[in-house]
Amino acid sequence: MKTLWNNYRYLILRRITQIGILILYFGANAWGWTILQGDLSSSLILNTVPMSDPYAVLQMLSAGAVLAGDLLLGVAVVVLFYMLIGGRAFCSWVCPINLITDLANYTREKTGMNKLKGVKQPASRNIRYWIIALSLIISAVMGLTAFEFISPISMVHRGLVFGLGFGWAAMLIIFLFDLFVLKNGWCGHICPLGGFYSIIGKFSLIRVHHDAEKCTGCMDCKVVCPENQVLSMINKDSLPVLSGECTNCARCIEVCNDDALGFSIRNLTKNSKTGE
Amino acid sequence: MKKEPVSDRRKFILDMARGIGIATLGGFVWSAYLDEATASQLTLRPPGALKEDDFLKTCIKCGLCVEACPYDTLLLAKPGDKKPLGTPYFVPRDVPCYMCPDIPCVPVCPTGALDKEIVTTDGKLDINIADMGVAVIDDQSCIAFWGIQCDACYRACPILGEAITVEYSKNERTGKHAFLKPIVHADKCTGCGMCEQACVTEKAAIFILPREVALGRAGDYYIKGWDKDDEKRLENAKEIKTTTEISKQKAQDKLNGDFLEDIY
């Protein structure tokens, strides 16, 4: 029991947060709770604190919408929060799609699909940044918030809160894509919202730190990490994970049996090149 | 032939070209989808909504208006509803807008896609000036136009006697009875849809359409006669220049010509 907690403590906490947040949103629509109203695009905490999706607002700006004051306040709240705890903490601690893609990943691992010969990972992880740029261009040309009309994230989240419709198809598409087409396909390659939070995450305070002295080089962390390019320092240098693409999901910390990884606050005063 | 290694410069240029090419391809597919997906003209919006074009770019799809609505009138478009995804709308035949005086759905909007100013007169919220659409009557299926006495829509109208009035006229068919025909006054109608919900026919004979869809526009070239105020609209009218050339043939030539041969 103790090892279970030790090996999965962050995973369990993440699932509690993800599902808890979903329940709060659901309760607001179904039973009139006022703890967390709205959805991931824009919401209201306790009828007072606004929160808005900064990427959606950027698209609105690009589309030529007049931005209301409340909205900008909501953006400030979200951006500051994630600058503190890690941009892509949204991805692993809040986003409902993470439940689906983690399931796809789990299935891949359990069925041995990852070890199949000849199955390549042909796509670049930079696609998401291209999609951000593209979405802003299309928003400007069409006068519409381009990604918001196709976003499976809001489709699924809104679906779970307000009624799903054919939203289950969006879930299935992402699951099948991640399972059969591309490992970590949606979250790790395509999702522009994740890409956007990666950019915010570059500046965030809470980081996974690596202690090369303790590391035995088992590489379990790289196997479990959905963005393993961020773990380039493993078994080499004692550095924090500085890439914004790290989702702070803490799976690496849990699987490390040598206590070589852990959360810590980034040291801002020292050398900015190495981060320490 | 010897295989030359690809130089770094060439690789960079090819990579960039490939990226831009794929982005262009994706961009066109994406735009084409958006254009189709937002083309629905028949969506009824909550009170205070901006014009559809501005609404689509301003609404962030958070559903706060839906949660604020005490009657569960408002819905968020889900995949399969065939409406612009995630935006709020209502179906008056199922649940109409009950026109709350405090209009709870409007002030909660964080983006101003539902704009308080649109439903405010003299600094106070005023639901009676809301414009969600306008009621249209199909006089073929409206039983009041058959001579059956029905005033369900008239009674249901929250602006009774102003947005819908009943007009009396003689039923010439029977020669003995009266018609009580409902008449919608588009300038007063808010499009709340209570009439549509109340309508007794199998498929509602009175129904709400967005104002842009339901109403025509006379333009500035026609004015009411004997009306000094209406004449002022002529000032906006611009001269129309036709570019089509007038036929140089005389009408007689046309008539005496061989146009019959053209026909046969």
Nearest to B196 by CA among B164, B226, B237: B164
Cross-chain residue pair A134–B26, CB shorter than 8 Å: yes
Residue of B nearest to A162 (CA): B76
Which of A168, A183, A199 terminates a domain? The answer is A199
Q: Are residues B56 and B121 both part of a single domain?
A: yes
SS3 A4: helix
CB contact, 8 Å: A132 with chain B? Answer: no
pLDDT for B1 equals 57
- Measured CA to CA, the distance from residue A227 to residue A125 in angstroms comes to 9
SS3 A97: helix
Report residue A11 as tokens: 């995973």
Is A50 a domain residue?
yes
Interface of A with B in 136-155 (CB under 8 A): 137-139, 141-146, 148-150, 154-155
Give the Cβ contact number of residue A114 at 10 Å: 13
How many residues would you count in chain B? 264
Q: Average pLDDT, stretch A115-136?
A: 83
Q: Are residues A192 and A211 both part of a single domain?
A: no
Q: Average pLDDT, stretch A154-163?
A: 90
Contacts across the A-B interface (CB distance below 8 Å): 137
Cross-chain residue pair B38–A149, CB shorter than 8 Å: yes
Report residue B28 as tokens: 């066109």
Residue of B nearest to A135 (CA): B27
Is A177 a domain residue?
yes
Is B252 a domain residue?
no
pLDDT in tens, B22-43: 999 999 999 999 998 888 788 9
pLDDT at A257 over 80: yes
Q: Are residues A16 and A99 both part of a single domain?
A: yes
Q: Are residues A115 and A61 both part of a single domain?
A: yes
What does the mean pLDDT of chain B come to? 88
Which of B69, B99, B132 terminates a domain? The answer is B132
Is B18 a domain residue?
no
pLDDT at A229 over 50: yes
Q: How far is A65 from chain B (nearest CA, A)?
A: 5
Which of A199, A216, A233 terminates a domain? The answer is A199
Is A58 a domain residue?
yes
What is the pTM for the complete model shown?
0.84
Question: For the complex shown, is ipTM > 0.90?
Answer: no
pLDDT for B257 equals 65
Comparing A115 with A75, the larger pLDDT belongs to A75
Q: Who's near A90: CB < 8 A, 6+ residues apart?
A: A82, A193, A197
Comparing A6 with A147, the larger pLDDT belongs to A147
pLDDT for B260 equals 61
Is B34 a domain residue?
no
Q: Are residues A183 and A237 both part of a single domain?
A: no
Interface of B with A in 20-79 (CB under 8 A): 22-23, 26-27, 30-31, 33-35, 37-38, 53-54, 56-58, 60-64, 66-67, 75-76, 78-79
Residue of B nearest to A170 (CA): B79
Give B261's pLDDT tier (boundaries 50, 70, 90): low
Cross-chain residue pair B62–A41, CB shorter than 8 Å: yes
Cross-chain residue pair A53–B58, CB shorter than 8 Å: no
pLDDT at B252 over 80: no
- Measured CA to CA, the distance from residue A178 to residue A174 in angstroms comes to 6
pLDDT for B153 equals 93
Q: Are residues A132 and A49 both part of a single domain?
A: yes
Is A22 a domain residue?
yes
- Measured CA to CA, the distance from residue B85 to residue A148 in angstroms comes to 8
Residue of B nearest to A43 (CA): B62
pLDDT at A263 over 90: no
Report residue A246 as tokens: 């790290």
Is B209 a domain residue?
yes
Report residue A194 as tokens: 């994740």
Residue type, A100: I
Is A63 a domain residue?
yes
A51 strand-pairing partners: A43
Q: Are residues A67 and A85 both part of a single domain?
A: yes
pLDDT at A110 over 70: yes
Nearest CB to B110; choose among A70, A133, A138: A70
pLDDT at B176 over 80: yes
What is the tally of structural domains in chain B?
2
Please state at what angle helix A167-176 crosses helix A97-111, rounded to 10 degrees.
40
Is A132 a domain residue?
yes
Is B178 a domain residue?
yes
Comparing A274 with A4, the larger pLDDT belongs to A4
Is B254 a domain residue?
no
Q: Are residues B125 and B46 both part of a single domain?
A: yes
Q: Average pLDDT, stretch B130-150?
A: 92
Structural domain of A125: 2-199
Is B5 a domain residue?
no
Q: Are residues B116 and B191 both part of a single domain?
A: no
Q: Are residues A79 and A117 both part of a single domain?
A: yes
Give B2's pLDDT tier (boundaries 50, 70, 90): low
DSSP A188: I
Q: Who's near B54: CB < 8 A, 6+ residues apart?
A: A65, B113
pLDDT for A276 equals 45
Q: Are residues B85 and B153 both part of a single domain?
A: no
CB contact, 8 Å: A63 with chain B? Answer: yes
Cross-chain residue pair B110–A32, CB shorter than 8 Å: no
Q: How far is B134 from chain A (nearest CA, A)?
A: 26
Q: Are residues A184 and A250 both part of a single domain?
A: no
Nearest CB to B30; choose among A138, A155, A166: A138
- Measured CA to CA, the distance from residue B216 to residue B41 in angstroms comes to 15
Q: Are residues A225 and A242 both part of a single domain?
A: yes
Q: How far is B107 from chain A (nearest CA, A)?
A: 11
pLDDT at A42 over 70: yes
Range with lowest mean pLDDT among A76-80, A107-111, A170-174: A107-111
pLDDT at B240 over 80: no
Q: Average pLDDT, stretch B166-182?
A: 90
DSSP B146: G
Q: Are residues A236 and A116 both part of a single domain?
A: no
Is B236 a domain residue?
no
Range with lowest mean pLDDT among A18-27, A258-267, B99-108: A258-267
Q: Are residues B151 and B104 both part of a single domain?
A: no
Kind of pairing, strands A49-52 and A42-45?
Answer: antiparallel
Range with lowest mean pLDDT among A6-10, A215-219, B256-260: B256-260
What is the tally of structural domains in chain A?
2
- Percent of chain A scoring above 90 in pLDDT: 39
Q: How far is B28 from chain A (nearest CA, A)?
A: 9
Which of B132, B148, B176 terminates a domain? The answer is B132
CB contact, 8 Å: A122 with chain B? Answer: no
Q: Are B197 and B139 in contact (CB under 8 A)?
A: no
First to last CA, chain B: 71
Q: Are residues B72 and B106 both part of a single domain?
A: yes
Read off the CATH number of the domain in which B168 is found.
3.30.70.20
The 3-state secondary structure of A156-186, one letter per residue: HHHHHHHCCCCHHHHHHHHHHHHHHHCCCHH
Is A98 a domain residue?
yes
Read off φ and ψ for residue A250, nearest 5 degrees. Answer: 70, 15
State the residue for tokens 């735009």: B31
Sign for the pseudo-dihedral over CA of B44, B46, B52, B53: negative
Q: B86 burial class (0-12, 13-18, 19+ CB within 10 angstroms)?
A: buried
Q: Average pLDDT, stretch A79-102?
A: 91
The continuous run of DSSP H or E covering A73 comes out as helix A69-85
Is A164 a domain residue?
yes
Which of B117, B132, B147 terminates a domain? The answer is B132
Cross-chain residue pair B79–A71, CB shorter than 8 Å: no
- Measured CA to CA, the distance from residue A146 to residue A140 in angstroms comes to 9
Q: Are residues A179 and A247 both part of a single domain?
A: no
pLDDT in tens, B192-233: 999 999 999 999 999 999 998 999 988 888 888 888 888 888
Report the residue of A33, A46, A62, A66 to disrupt the B interface, i.e. the one with the largest count of B CBs within 10 Å: A66
Give A21's pLDDT tier (boundaries 50, 70, 90): very high
- Measured CA to CA, the distance from residue B61 to residue B68 in angstroms comes to 14
Q: Are residues A16 and A80 both part of a single domain?
A: yes
Which of A199, A225, A256 terminates a domain? The answer is A199
Nearest CB to B60; choose among A52, A134, A142: A52
Give A215's pLDDT tier (boundaries 50, 70, 90): confident
Report residue A220 as tokens: 């379990």
Report the residue of B15, B60, B83 to disrupt the A interface, i.e. the one with the largest count of A CBs within 10 Å: B60
Which residues does chain B have within 8 Å of residue A150's beta carbon, measured at their own beta carbons? 30, 33-34, 85
pLDDT for A119 equals 62
Structural domain of B184: 133-214
Nearest CB to B57; choose among A42, A65, A165: A65
Interface of B with A in 107-126 (CB under 8 A): 108, 110-112
Q: Are residues B152 and B205 both part of a single domain?
A: yes
Cross-chain residue pair B27–A138, CB shorter than 8 Å: yes
Q: Who's near A77: CB < 8 A, 6+ residues apart?
A: A49, A50, A51, A52
Residue of B nearest to A146 (CA): B34
Read off the CATH number of the domain in which A220 is found.
3.30.70
